[in-house]
Amino acid sequence: MTVHMRMACMDDATQIQAIYAPIVAETIISFEQVVPTVEEIAERIQKAIDRYPWLVCTQDGVIMGYVYGSTHRARAAYQWSVDVSVYVHSAYRRRGIARALYTALFSMLATQGYYNAYAGIALPNAGSVGIHEAMGFVPVGVYKEVGYKLGAWHDVGWWQLAIQPKAGEPQTPVPITDLIDSPHWDNAIDMGMAHLKDLI
């Protein structure tokens, strides 16, 4: 049994879409109404990976879960903040995979020069709230009845994590492509993989 964590590629789109599709179709966890196609997922990966980490955790080639960062807001003063999301295949939950992926992601984001991570969680979702608060996120507010899906209006709670201390003038974050194959990248992967020791 071989477990790996690595950057996603467009060839992963089929497996990622299979994880994400039931979340869109059957739950309020995602506010998307229509399941994206494999091609649309591939486009999202390609668009993201020039700037942000998009990581997958695999076991013998099977993607157990994935995590990524994305733009928090478009205006320039927000550039040091990111939105983050993690999804784990239903067959592999409660094995530390979300914690492992987030640990690696936050290390990479800090090295890139980001300071704040935000997670929007459609409520109720005790599992997602639990993993985010276990990772150190704190609640900062709720958008009341902001989205309508599956026949009802739903709240979205927002949680924030300080990725690293703030001091002095921040530098423009560097793209994730600058870190791949660097010691920083390897260290972040190792930090994440340490949470998967029972799977290795």
Q: Which SS3 state, helix, strand or coil, does residue 129 take?
A: helix
Number of domains composing the chain: 1
Q: Mean pLDDT throughout 57-74?
A: 97
Nearest Cα to Cα of residue 119 among 149, 78, 84? 84
Dist. CA 37–CA 14, nearest whole Å: 9
pTM summary value: 0.96
Domain that residue 18 falls in: 3-196
Q: Give the CATH number, domain containing residue 136.
A: 3.40.630.30
For 20, the token pair is 């994400």
- 155, 121 in Cβ contact below 8 A? no
Dist. CA 151–CA 81, nearest whole Å: 33
Write down the pLDDT at residue 199: 72
Over the stretch 154-194, which tens digit does the pLDDT of each residue have? 999 999 999 999 989 999 999 999 999 999 999 999 999 99
Dist. CA 152–CA 157, nearest whole Å: 16
Over the stretch 112-140, which tens digit does the pLDDT of each residue have? 999 999 999 999 999 999 999 999 999 99
Nearest Cα to Cα of residue 194 among 103, 124, 117? 103
pLDDT at 74 over 70: yes
